[in-house]
Structure 1
């Protein structure tokens, strides 16, 4: 956490694949070229922005609202 409390740094482990799990078996997710798709920082950024987007109507938006600057304002501006 930065000194001003505005920046959190997460260190992601490399080589962690995305998987599909149906309760019985695990299947690695592949990209368009057939390569294993790995979790990246971009995935976390995308997820946070999608969660705070009122158009997606995420039931969990309130969880990020307190932690991400602008998330609550975006949700409130759209009538949440």
Structure 2
């Protein structure tokens, strides 16, 4: 009888305890914090990777613009040279 009463009392104590008060609560809380930290680090790394890609795309675009402008300048210079040659031959 005493054993049954002790078992029932201990069962009630365990059942009435809040989940965060016990060992499992601490364990789950620690696992949750570790997962959150890992997710945050992954997101930060992803943001850094995306920023690097954007920076590289900006540099590539600037280089393309410079190349295009240089080609236009060369074409214009070539046309001017042709006009000059025509004028000199007249």
Question: What TM-score results when the alignment is normalised by the length of structure 1?
Answer: 0.25
Tell me which protein shows more helix as a share of its residues: 2
> Looking at both structures, which has the greater relative contact order when contacts are Cα pairs under 8 Å and sequence separation is at least 6?
1
Scaled by the length of structure 2, the TM-score of the pair is: 0.23
Largest Rg, 1 or 2: 2
